[in-house]
Amino acid sequence: MTTTTKIMVLAIALTAHSSGAFSQVEIKIKTWPNTEMNANHTSYIPSDVKAGFLHTMQPNCLSEAERKLLMEEADRNFEMIKRNKPDQIIQRIAMPPAFIWPVQPKAGFNDYGYFTVQNLVDHNASFPNQLLDYNCGNRTYDWAGGNHAGTDIIYWPYPWRRMDEEVMEIRAAADGNIIIKKDGFFDRMCVNAGNPNWNGIVLQHSDGSRSIYMHFKNGGITNKGVGDAVAAGEYLGLAASSGSSNWPHLHFEVSSSTLTPMDPYQGNCNSMNPISLWQTQHPYNVPTVNRICSKYRTIDYYSCPNPEITFERDTFSIGDTLSLWLYVRDLVQNTTFQLELFNPSNQLANSWSFTVPWATWPTSYLSWYWMVDPWWVQGWWKFKATWEGNSYEHLFFMTGQPSGMIETDKPSFRLFPNPARESTMLSGRSLQKGDLIFISNSLGQISKTYAVPDDSNEMAISLEGLKSGYYTLSVKSSIGTIYKPLSIID
């Protein structure tokens, strides 16, 4: 069955699902109800949309006094480099460098995205609470004694988990010499209060301009030292939350050869430099879904500086709560999401749309939930979101059985390789003689059955005769049934 819904505003609720430990970070929640949904909340109609908007309170990042001391140290170091490592100094030219984007994902990262641009340079010299970014918006901040002078590229979603996974690698935005290198400081700060003990790098470029890279992970910095030359794109470190920071991110800042602040972005309200300093300037808004996922809870939980409790799960049973989430970069007002659910036969089971009613926000999420009943037939379902010309997909499995059949709190099995071709290895916890292993296709039809011959910690599973596609491997034992997704490729 297909249903198209009209979203109507009835109320907006503001709450926070972040822990009190996040003294300077708040996720404000807004809801956008629909009268049709509220009148008849059936198994296939989604709930009201819930949106979360990240707000980071920023009293101080790098004060003018600290910046002055930093540049004085850089001057002394560069004089030392000229004496001791003159062959390392890159060739002097008059033109400023054209910067590349200063972060990249680690090798093997395969999600849709991992960052947002939360704050830009403040072009309104007055303070506090007088904001102006290069595009004449207010995506920046100030405080009682100064203005934000950099670009903050922050992890989203799951900042502490992604930090621990070392997803965001910081790279040199242009050729240069290292003139400041700082490491060894605590990297899980929750309060942005002017702490000068940050890990990071300062580079001097061919025209004498400088770029600052702040808040690195302790011990994750380049092995190169002060005076050494680096090339554009070369690894510098890992994003974290050292120094004056309350969220794992990179603070990227540029100053001219005369040490006056510069904004690498070109725009009508950039009062610092008339041209873009980027090789390719990103648009002001880059509407992107960074992550699409399914959860068994309707809340998000952050407790600085601990890794997030994600509540993510891809297997659901009758009686469970199914919550589908989109973690978004640049949720642009008046843009429309097309949402679709496909059943295990790959037939469209439900579709609806959502047009963003709120002001554009850089870091946010959207979510909908259902209570699972027998309408959700067994097999692999697909949630698809289409937005601003791009599509995002997530698969989740419905067991078709009452909740409690899956031992989710017990150590699970591991399948490797997965995706697989001719065979895969099942391992991770004890298999008992007589346990049954089933491989089912996307319609829930059993394609292969195995009996565990002996007690063991692992077992090779033949996939011979199975076509490429999505399957479910289930292990049925005396303690219950555990399901694992399995992909077979040609």
H or E element that contains 103: strand 103-105
User: Is 369 within 8 Å of 323 (Cβ atoms)?
Assistant: yes
- Give mean pLDDT, residues 341-353: 94
Contacts by 411-416, CB closer than 8 A, 24 or more apart? 412/482, 412/484, 413/475, 413/482, 413/484, 415/473, 415/484, 415/486
Assign 7 a pLDDT band (cuts: 50, 70, 90): very low
| Lowest-pLDDT range of 39-43, 250-254, 447-451 | 39-43
Taking all residues of the chain, what is their mean pLDDT, rounded to a whole number? 87
What's the Cα-to-Cα distance from 38 to each of 46, 110, 130, 337, 380, rounded to whole Å?
Answer: 10, 37, 41, 20, 28
Assign 173 a pLDDT band (cuts: 50, 70, 90): very high
CA atoms within 13 A on the CB side of 410: 15
Distance, CA of 237 to CA of 171 (rounded, Å): 7
Say if strands 390-402 and 315-318 run parallel, antiparallel, or are unpaired: parallel
Distance, CA of 350 to CA of 56 (rounded, Å): 36
Domains plus CATH for the chain?
25-56+286-402 (2.60.40.1930), 64-262 (2.70.70.10), 414-488 (2.60.40.3080)
- Give mean pLDDT, residues 14-34: 58
Q: Say which residue the tokens 């970070």 belong to.
A: 25
User: Is 487 within 8 Å of 472 (Cβ atoms)?
Assistant: no
Is pLDDT at 229 greater than 60 in this prediction? yes
Distance, CA of 141 to CA of 118 (rounded, Å): 10
User: Is 102 within 8 Å of 250 (Cβ atoms)?
Assistant: yes
Task: Return the beta strands (E) in 336-468 as ranges.
Answer: 336-342, 348-355, 361-371, 379-387, 390-402, 414-416, 423-431, 436-440, 446-451, 456-462
Q: Say which residue the tokens 């059993």 belong to.
A: 446
User: Is 272 within 8 Å of 260 (Cβ atoms)?
Assistant: yes
Is pLDDT at 263 greater than 90 in this prediction? yes
Is pLDDT at 463 greater than 70 in this prediction? yes
pLDDT at position 469 is 77
CA atoms within 13 A on the CB side of 230: 29
Distance, CA of 339 to CA of 366 (rounded, Å): 12
CA atoms within 13 A on the CB side of 96: 23
**What string of DSSP letters covers 305-357?**
TEEEE--B-SEEEET-EEEEEEEEEEE-TT-EEEEEEE-TTS-EEEEEEEE--
Is pLDDT at 187 greater than 80 in this prediction? yes
Higher pLDDT, 270 or 474: 270
Is pLDDT at 393 greater than 80 in this prediction? yes
User: Is 254 within 8 Å of 355 (Cβ atoms)?
Assistant: no
Distance, CA of 101 to CA of 238 (rounded, Å): 15
Distance, CA of 427 to CA of 412 (rounded, Å): 9
Q: What is the pLDDT of residues 36-91, one digit of tens each?
A: 443 344 557 788 899 999 987 665 778 888 999 999 999 999 999 999 999 999 88
Assign 444 a pLDDT band (cuts: 50, 70, 90): low
pLDDT at position 36 is 42
Higher pLDDT, 421 or 23: 421
Q: What is the pLDDT of residues 84-134, one digit of tens each?
A: 999 999 888 878 899 999 999 999 999 999 999 999 999 999 999 999 999
The residues, any chain, with a CB within 8 Å of residue 225's CB and separated by 6 or more, are: 178, 181
Cβ neighbours around 469 below 10 Å, total: 12
**pTM: predicted TM-score of the whole model, two decimal places:** 0.80
Assign 24 a pLDDT band (cuts: 50, 70, 90): low
User: Is 242 within 8 Å of 187 (Cβ atoms)?
Assistant: yes
Nearest CA to 444 out of 413, 398, 388 is that of: 398
Order of all β-strands in the sheet with 456-462? 414-416, 423-431, 456-462
Assign 443 a pLDDT band (cuts: 50, 70, 90): low
Q: Say which residue the tokens 């950099």 belong to.
A: 150
Q: What is the pLDDT of residues 292-344, one digit of tens each?
A: 999 988 887 888 898 998 999 999 998 888 999 999 999 999 999 999 999 99
pLDDT at position 117 is 98
Q: Which tokens is 346 given? A: 């790959």
Distance, CA of 411 to CA of 163 (rounded, Å): 25
pLDDT at position 371 is 86
Is pLDDT at 372 greater than 70 in this prediction? yes
pLDDT at position 412 is 64
| Lowest-pLDDT range of 12-21, 26-35, 212-221, 343-352 | 12-21
Assign 404 a pLDDT band (cuts: 50, 70, 90): low
Cis amide prior to 157 (ω within 30 degrees): yes
Dihedral sign computed on CA atoms, order 205, 211, 173, 222: positive
Instruction: Give per-residue burial for 416-449: e unless 16+ CB within 10 Å, then b.
Output: eeeebeeebebebeebeeebebbbbbbebeeebe
- Give mean pLDDT, residues 153-182: 97
The single-letter code of the amino acid at 143 is W
Distance, CA of 359 to CA of 138 (rounded, Å): 12
pLDDT at position 157 is 97
pLDDT at position 285 is 98
